[in-house]
């Protein structure tokens, strides 16, 4: 009997052998149900072999072959093997984490067929030229349906009120629902709403030439598939050179699209997508945050009204996500828009990958398989032989360094796409000797008042939610610390709660100091809620809207808020990094930044890089149309090099300064790092474990630098003590060789209760 080697969702670095009836047709990548201990588990067939290291009588047969969805393609399995190997994470956990949750369950996957809508004979008989103009939305729907049947999602892209208006058309007998049919392979229309600027055209042409996109031909995906080398591919994110090929195909190249805010990077994406879709290819667009997906989805639907587009992100329910994933796997979905996990989506006709805001830390998974979606996307593009474009106004230093050294091709957009829009004027307000009113300087308050008089919108940016970061006793100095963490409890005044933003612990605000009984407890510092309250006191007639994780927690709340902002029903926005990037509000002319100084002297060597990116992004929200923009940054250090570069909008000079510092200090991108993290309820056990791991590392005597065991930045979280051990090397190859020898040794350390993980290319310390 053939033996199947199965990947299971268990934390063991091995595949598991099972027998299968030789009469069953089993395919690599297929889901199976197998007995594991006392329970049944779903796994993925990774190999079919004739022999096993175990005696046949000890090998159990599979319980069931699951044939409800197609098997994973070999290309995807190769990608997952690479991730398991590179990030040193068990293969079974890696494979199963890449699947929608419905595919990890034993129940058969049944997805209801979607409905589409088409004109009835009565609808086709209508003279649309005579249709009442006051029924504009209905006319738009009828005109679109006169060309072909459309799904509800495609109709919603035409108008936000499509659901209501469609019901009217159905009641009138002009439109009827029907079973959705597979879109025709050539069904692709492009709404070319904008003419490319000269810089945008240069960027599009550069990628087009590499990809070999030809409007008069289509990609031969079957031929490419047959030629594919599905063996292991060596890579170096960070390191794939423009002339390296994993499989002999010439379509791979990594481009860094460095465009200032408002320069029209999205328009470059749209035109590249159009060229890929013309060849019946599929496009994968990765975005860092869920909040960016709805607006981008609507925008791309408006530009490609007849093209099947799906979103994939954690805000969707299991059925929606599985349905969209299966559409991508079948090739039906031509555009896949998603957050980091979407990088593993099966795409048989993949011909272009786009990574928007490539610098964003959200692309790095912080638990489980600690992968970087950006880096995995580069590997996947190389594996497939297709171009990849990394877009950002403030590229990560790793990507910028690779572009400077020739590994990536640099494409620059130096001007705003709207000829009437200029970059905002950035001013730093010295707060050292200025009397502040609730954290707001007189100059900032005057600027806000001026915008209110001109009926223009303003944004106050403070990257800290809640009312105040901490509650303090004025008598004894007690601070509201979290009993489970090394952090502080944040005051949320509206619901009279103290909350830990690290572990979720919360408690009521005490009537008196728990230490001395004093009833005079004062909030210290600023949060979004406190700023909102202060602004309401200063400008009682202003319409103020707070946008942070608390106010956008409910499904649909951010979409409703965005409509308010676009309808100019909001005068002043108070928000966190949710508002920092990707949004285009034409009437916003002022951005005020509060409390940015903490990052200037952080222990995190990446803190100033992140701060510059954050401030440049949020500054870019001002003056995106014909009205000039202004950015006021409240700081006690206005002459700091970071603020000088920000005022000059000079990312290149700031990046060169940081790269010089990193090279002298021996930090990435000039070295490659791995962090061994460990945590446990017993602090001493954590340090014993890490010290043993360190001794084992030293005994290997390999060309790596091994640092001492230190406490994590957050030394205690959720009642677990946390510490870490850093190892780095001058080359990625030597670090990987070291890890292949070191990890098996770590697994031999007796530490049943200790949770530990290896973080390759860590971003947070």
Q: What is the mean pLDDT of each run of 10 residues along the chain (765 residues)?
A: 92 92 89 93 94 88 91 96 96 95 87 79 85 84 83 75 86 83 56 85 92 56 39 34 40 93 91 92 91 80 87 87 93 94 96 95 93 97 95 96 95 86 89 88 95 94 91 93 92 90 92 92 92 95 92 79 88 88 81 90 88 90 82 94 94 94 94 96 95 96 96 93 96 96 94 91 89
Q: Are residues 223 and 353 in the same domain?
A: yes
Any domain includes 85:
yes
pLDDT at res. 238: 37
What sign results for the dihedral spanned by CA atoms 214, 339, 349, 325? negative
Contact by Cβ (8 Å): 86, 40: no
- Helix or strand run (H / E) with residue 548: none
pLDDT value, residue 172 = 86
Do 545 and 454 belong to one domain? yes
H/E stretch holding 426: strand 425-430
Using the structure block, give the residue that is written with the tokens 């009205």: 627
Does 482 map to a domain? no
Helical spans, DSSP H, in 338-455: 373-384, 397-404, 442-453
Residue 131's pLDDT is what? 84
If one counts the domains in the chain, the total is 5
How far is Cα 489 from Cα 507, in angstroms, rounded to an integer? 9
93 with 126, same domain: the answer is no
pLDDT at 106: 86
Same domain for 76 and 138, yes or no, is no
| CATH number of the CATH domain containing 742 | 3.30.70.600
Q: Is residue 645 part of a domain?
A: yes
Q: Does residue 688 sit in the same domain as residue 719?
A: yes
Please provide the DSSP assignment of 686-714 as one string: HHHHHHHHHHHHHHT--S-EEEEEEEEEE
Backbone phi and psi for residue 15, each to the nearest 5 degrees, phi listed first = -95, 160
Six token digits for residue 619: 């500054």
User: Do 147 and 94 fall into the same domain?
Assistant: no
Instruction: Report the residue count for the chain.
Output: 765
Element (H, E) at 269: helix 265-278
Q: What is the per-residue pLDDT for 139?
A: 86
Q: Are 639 and 572 found together in one domain?
A: yes
Examine the fold and report which residue of 84, 104, 124 is the final residue of a domain before the chain moves on. Answer: 104
Contact 129, 80 (CB under 8 A): no
In the DSSP assignment, the letter for residue 250 is: S
Nearest in space to 237 (alpha carbons), one of 95, 81, 380, 386: 380
Task: Read off φ and ψ for residue 269, nearest 5 degrees.
Answer: -55, -45
Please tell me the distance from the alpha carbon of residue 714 to that of residue 484, in angstroms, as a whole number. Answer: 11
> Which pLDDT does position 244 carry in this prediction?
34
Within a domain: residue 719?
A: yes
Is the pTM for the entire model greater than 0.85?
Answer: yes
Which CATH number does the domain housing residue 33 bear? Answer: 3.40.1440.60
Nearest to 244 by CA among 408, 77, 79: 408
Specify the CATH number for the domain of residue 348. 3.40.50.300
Whether residues 203 and 313 fall in one domain: yes
DSSP class of 132: -
Let me know whether 395 and 433 are in one domain.
no
Range of the domain at 550: 425-468+525-650
In-domain check, residue 548: yes
For residue 160, give every residue at least 6 positions away whose Cβ sits within 8 Å of its Cβ, in sequence order, or none. 563
pLDDT at position 394, please? 94
In a domain? residue 21: yes
User: In sequence order, what are the residues at sequence separation of 6 or more whose Cβ sits closer than 8 angstroms to the Cβ of residue 633?
Assistant: 426, 427, 428, 429, 592, 593, 596, 615, 643, 646
pLDDT tens-digit readout, 677-734: 999 999 999 999 999 999 999 999 999 999 999 999 999 999 999 999 999 999 999 9
Beta bridge partners of 508: 497
**Which DSSP state fits 613?**
H
Residue 43 lies inside a defined structural domain of this protein? yes
594 and 724 assigned to the same domain: no
Any domain includes 186: no
């Amino acid at each position: 009997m053939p033996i199947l080697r199965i990947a299971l969702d268990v934390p063991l670095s091995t595949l598991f052998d099972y027998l299968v009836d030789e009469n069953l047709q089993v395919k690599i990548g297929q889901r199976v149900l197998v007995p594991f201990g006392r329970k049944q588990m779903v796994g993925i067939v990774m190999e079919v072999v004739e022999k096993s290291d175990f005696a046949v009588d000890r090998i159990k047969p599979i319980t069931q072959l699951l044939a409800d969805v197609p098997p994973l393609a070999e290309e995807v399995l190769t990608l997952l093997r690479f991730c398991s190997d590179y990030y040193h994470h068990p293969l079974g956990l890696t494979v199963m984490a890449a699947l929608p949750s419905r595919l990890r369950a034993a129940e058969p996957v049944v997805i209801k067929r979607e409905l589409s809508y088409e004109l009835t004979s009565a609808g086709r008989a209508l003279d649309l030229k005579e249709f009442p103009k006051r029924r504009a939305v209905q006319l738009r729907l009828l005109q679109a349906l006169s060309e072909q049947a459309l799904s509800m999602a495609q109709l919603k892209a035409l108008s936000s009120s499509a659901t209501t208006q469609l019901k009217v058309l159905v009641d009138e007998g002009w439109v009827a629902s029907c079973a959705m049919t597979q879109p025709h392979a050539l069904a692709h229309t492009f709404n070319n709403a904008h003419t490319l600027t000269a810089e945008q055209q240069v960027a599009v042409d550069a990628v087009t030439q590499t990809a070999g996109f030809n409007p008069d031909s289509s990609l031969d995906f079957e031929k490419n598939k047959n030629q594919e080398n599905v063996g292991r591919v060596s890579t170096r994110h960070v390191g794939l050179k423009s002339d390296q090929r994993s499989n002999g195909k010439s379509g791979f190249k990594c481009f860094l699209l460095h465009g200032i805010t408002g320069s029209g990077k999205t328009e470059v994406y749209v035109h590249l997508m159009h060229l890929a879709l013309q060849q019946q290819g599929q496009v994968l667009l990765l975005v860092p945050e869920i909040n960016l997906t709805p607006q981008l989805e609507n925008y791309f639907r408006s530009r490609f009204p007849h093209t099947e587009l799906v979103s994939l992100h954690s805000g969707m329910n299991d059925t929606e996500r599985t349905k969209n994933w299966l559409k991508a796997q079948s090739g039906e979905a031509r555009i896949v828009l998603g957050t980091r996990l979407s990088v593993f989506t099966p795409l048989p006709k993949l011909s272009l990958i786009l990574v928007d805001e490539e610098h964003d830390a959200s692309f790095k998974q912080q638990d489980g398989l600690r992968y970087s979606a950006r880096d995995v996307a580069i590997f996947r593009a190389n594996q497939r032989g297709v171009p990849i474009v990394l877009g950002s106004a403030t590229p990560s230093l790793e990507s910028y360094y690779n572009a400077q050294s020739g590994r990536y091709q640099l494409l620059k957009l130096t001007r705003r796409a709207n000829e009437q829009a200029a970059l905002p004027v950035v001013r730093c307000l010295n707060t050292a000797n200025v009397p502040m009113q609730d954290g707001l300087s007189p100059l900032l308050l005057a600027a806000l008042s001026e915008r209110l008089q001109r009926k223009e919108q303003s944004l106050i940016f403070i990257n800290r939610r809640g009312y105040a970061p901490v509650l303090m006793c004025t008598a004894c100095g007690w601070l509201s610390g979290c009993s489970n963490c090394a952090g502080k409890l944040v005051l949320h005044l509206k619901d009279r709660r103290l909350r830990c933003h690290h572990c979720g612990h919360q408690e009521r605000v005490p009537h008196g100091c728990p230490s001395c009984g004093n009833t005079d407890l004062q909030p210290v510092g600023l949060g979004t809620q406190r700023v909102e309250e202060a602004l309401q006191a200063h400008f009682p007639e202003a319409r103020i809207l707070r946008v942070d994780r608390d106010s956008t927690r409910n499904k649909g709340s951010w979409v409703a808020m965005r409509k308010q902002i676009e309808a100019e029903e909001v005068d002043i926005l108070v928000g966190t990094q949710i508002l920092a990037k990707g949004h285009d509000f034409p009437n916003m002319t002022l951005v005020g930044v509060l409390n940015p100084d903490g990052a200037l002297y952080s222990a995190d060597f990446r803190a100033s890089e992140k701060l510059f990116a954050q401030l440049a992004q949020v500054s870019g929200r001002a003056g995106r149309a014909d009205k000039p923009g202004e950015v006021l940054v409240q700081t006690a250090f206005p002459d700091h090099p970071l603020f000088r570069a920000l005022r000059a909008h000079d990312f290149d000079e700031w990046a060169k300064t940081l790269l010089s510092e990193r090279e002298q200090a021996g930090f990435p991108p000039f070295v490659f790092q791995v962090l061994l993290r460990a945590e446990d309820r017993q602090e001493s056990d954590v340090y014993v474990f890490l010290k043993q791991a360190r001794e084992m590392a030293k005994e290997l005597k390999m060309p790596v630098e091994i640092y001492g065991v230190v406490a994590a930045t957050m030394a205690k979280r959720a009642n677990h003590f946390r510490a870490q051990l850093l190892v780095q090397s001058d080359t990625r190859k030597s670090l990987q060789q070291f890890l292949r020898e070191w990890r098996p040794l770590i697994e031999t350390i007796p530490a049943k209760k200790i949770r530990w993980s290896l973080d390759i290319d860590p971003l947070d310390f």
